[in-house]
Amino acid sequence: MIVIAENLNTRNKTYTDALKKKERKTISKMAKELADAGAAFINVQCSLDGAGDEEMLPMAVEAVAEGAGTGICLDSRNLKAVRKSLSLCKEPPLINFISATEPEEAEELLELAAGSRSSVVIRASRGTIPTTLEAKLQILEELIEMANEADIPNERLFADPSLVHIGRGMGQDHIKNSYECVKLLKEMVEPPINTIAWISNISTALPRALKPRLDATFLSYAAGAGLDAALVDVLDPEIRKTIYLIKSFRDEIIFTPADLSA
């Protein structure tokens, strides 16, 4: 299980304040804490729509690279910001994300990824998130073909079934078909492709007290389908324990009761 810290996002006031004040040391310190908590990658988000990212994203990426020593996940809708940030990553990053919403923009982002040997999240979305398993698989198939045509092999692709929160109108249906989507991608796609999910999306808008249990339980559920990577709050104790157990069950680490109790 590849653990990607979601913590540096627009909902994190300490982080967004540090961005506005250009406090690199604060961002580096936060990144180190995430790395120490077990993050293999850190998702760096400076806005939801890409506004201001040309200045903010490179600064944040540089600070994270200095503080953490982890892989970096570039989360921006601003192509110029992504381009400027690529050279600041110590190793090829994970670009988060392309979808079928804007094909021309997706093609340009894939060119950037191919030239930098970056990995790419391909998201099952076409403006709106599809409500059926078949529609999700169709979009992902189209994006895989686009990526392959851009000389990006399947091993550098991370397919995201696009989770929605469980309280939404068809939330439970979405969760079920997202599980099936991950499972079928692992079984059907050759050469194999990676799968990824932003776990906390399922608990959006729910009371804070419910989030840790819901997110951790869904993470276990998705792991059963073969999920390869997860964007999670790595500072949450429930999530950390769940990741530890998933890695233990997959024989990726050696289990000891003392580690779990700690």
The CATH superfamily label for domain 92-224+234-262 reads: Dihydropteroate synthase-like (3.20.20.20)
Identify the pLDDT of residue 41: 98
pLDDT tens for 179-216 read 999 999 999 999 999 999 999 999 988 999 999 999 99
pLDDT tens for 7-59 read 999 999 999 999 999 999 999 999 999 999 999 999 999 999 999 999 999 99
Q: What are phi and psi of 117, to 5 degrees?
A: 60, 30
Identify the pLDDT of residue 171: 81
Least confident of 41-50, 68-77, 141-150, 167-176: 167-176
Taking the C-alpha atoms of 146, 150, 156 and 158 in order, what is their torsion angle to the nearest 10 degrees?
-20
Answer whether 123's CB lies under 8 Å from 99's CB: yes
The set of residues, in sequence order, having a beta carbon less than 8 Å from that of 206 and lying 6+ positions away, is: 165, 166, 167, 214
Q: What six digits make up the tokens of 18?
A: 């540090």
Q: Which residue ranges make up each domain of the chain?
A: 1-72, 92-224+234-262
